[in-house]
Chains A and B, each alone.
Chain A
C-alpha cells in the first residue's frame, strides 16, 4: 500500500495502480508526455486530484509546481462573414473595417453578398501600393 504524491509535472496520461474504493490504496502516477503548451488541461486535472486527495486526508505539498498563466494558448477568433467564408478576426478588421458590411448584407441578395465579400481585400497589400503603377503593363 503506497501513495504517490501527485506531483505538478504535466502529464498526458494517468496510470493508476491498485485503485480501490479506499483512498489509502490510491496510487497515481503522473507522466509528462505533452508540451507545456497543452498544460492548462493538466493544471485543471492537477487541481482536481489535489482537492480530492486533500479532502481524503492526504495533505499535498504547497508548491511543487509554479503556475504559469501564460501557458494557455491564445484562442484564434474567427468570423463568419458569409456562408463558407470564414476569416480571422484580424483579417476581418483589415478587410471589412470601415466598410458598412451589414448595410451591404441587407441590400444585396445572399448570392451577391457572398461573391462581394469573397473577393474584396482578399490579397494583403501595403500602404505604399499604387494601383496605377501595378496595373501598368511592364516594359
Chain B
C-alpha cells in the first residue's frame, strides 16, 4: 500500500474510490482545497476513469452540504459547531432555503456524470464483497485506529479499487500497518504542498 500526495502529473490507476471530502471539496469553492479537488475531478473525467462511490460517501456529502447551509443560514464560520440537535431544530429552514439548490447536488452530479457516459458505479457490488467489507471494517478500526466511517471507506476501497482518493490525512499511517494491501491512497493537499510525496 502506498500513500501519495496528489499532483496533476500523477497517473491514477482505475478503478478509483472517491471519499466524500473530494466531492464536497470540488463543489464548494473558495477554500484551500478547491482547486486541487476540482482539477483532480477534471482529470478523472477527462480520462473517463472508472469511478466508485458508496452510500457512506453520499451520506457524508449530504451532511457536509447541510452543515454548510446551516452555517450560511446562521452567518457562522464553516467550522462552527453543528450537531444532530441543531439539524433537527433547523432542518425545515435549511431545506426551505437551500433544499432545491444545494443539499442534493452531489447526488445530482453523480447521476449527471453517469448520464454523460462516465462509468460511475455504486459499491459494494456483490453480497460476497459486502460481507468482506463487513469483516474488514472493524479490523481496520482496531489496527489503524480509524473511525467507523473511515474504516468502511478503506475496506470498500481495498475490496473494489486500485486507488482511494481522499483529503483525509488520518489515512497517512495506514500503509505502515497494512503494507501488504494492493491499494494506492492518493491524498489531496493544498497546491503548494502537492510537490511532496511520501
Binding site for B on A (CB under 8 A): 94-95, 98-99, 104, 107-109, 111-112, 114-116, 118-139
A interface footprint on B108-128 (CB within 8 Å = 1, 0 otherwise): 110011011110000000000
Q: Which listed residue (A112, A123, A133) contacts B105, Cβ 8 A?
A: A123
Which residues on B sit within 8 Å (CB–CB) of A104?
42, 45-46
Question: In the complex the two chains form, is B113's CB within 8 Å of A115's CB?
Answer: yes
A137 to B32 Cα, complex, angstroms:
21
Q: Given the complex, which residues of B lie within 8 Å of A127, measured CB to CB?
A: 30-32
Interchain CB contact under 8 A, B82 and A138: yes
Closest partner residue, chain A, to B33 (CB atom): A131
Query: Do A138 and B83 touch (CB < 8 A)?
Result: yes
State which of B29, B45, B63, B65 has its C-beta within 8 Å of the C-beta of A138: B63
| In the assembled complex, B163 has its CB within 8 A of some CB on chain A | no
Contact pattern, B 172-196, Cβ under 8 Å of A = 1, otherwise 0:
0000000000000000000000000
Q: Chain B contact residues: over half helix, strand or loop, or mixed? A: helix
**Interface check B87, CB cutoff 8 A:** yes
Q: Which residues from chain B contact A137 at a C-beta distance below 8 Å?
A: 59-60, 63, 149
Known contacts A120-B29, A123-B102, A134-B24; 15 additional CB pairs below 8 A are A99-B39, A112-B45, A115-B109, A119-B105, A119-B108, A120-B26, A121-B28, A121-B38, A123-B28, A124-B29, A125-B30, A129-B30, A131-B21, A131-B37, A137-B60
Residue B117 contacts which of A95, A111, A120 (CB distance < 8 angstroms)?
Answer: A111
6 A-B pairs whose Cβ atoms sit less than 8 Å apart in the complex: A120-B41, A125-B28, A125-B78, A129-B68, A129-B78, A130-B79
Which residues between 1 and 47 of chain B lie within 8 Å of chain A, taking CB atoms?
19-22, 24-35, 37-39, 41-42, 45-46
B130 to chain A, nearest CB (A): 20
The answer for the CA separation of A139 and B26 in the assembled complex, in Å, is 25
**In the complex, A107 Cα to B47 Cα: how many Å?**
9
Q: Which of B46, B77, B83 sits near A128, CB closer than 8 Å? A: B77
> Does the CB pair B30–A135 fall under 8 Å?
no
Q: Which of A108, A121, A130, A133 makes the CB contact (< 8 A) with B45?
A: A108
- Complex interface: chain B residues within 8 A of A120 (CB): 26-27, 29, 38, 41-42
- List 4 tightest A-B contacts by C-beta distance, closest first: A121-B29, A125-B28, A129-B31, A129-B78
Q: Nearest-CB distance from B8 to chain A (Å)? A: 9
Question: Which residues of chain A are near B77, meaning CB under 8 Å?
Answer: 126, 128
- Asked if B54 CB lies within 8 Å of chain A CBs, one says no
Query: Measured between C-beta atoms, what is the minimum distance from A120 to chain B in Å?
Result: 4
Cα distance, A77 to B37, chains bound together (Å)? 27
Chain A residues near B21: list those with CB within 8 A: 131-132, 135
When distances are taken between beta carbons in the complex, the residues of chain B under 8 Å from A119 are 26-27, 105, 108-109, 112
Q: Which residues of A contact B118 (CB under 8 A)?
A: 112, 115
A132 and B167 contact, CB distance less than 8 A: yes
A40 to B74, CA, bound (A): 40
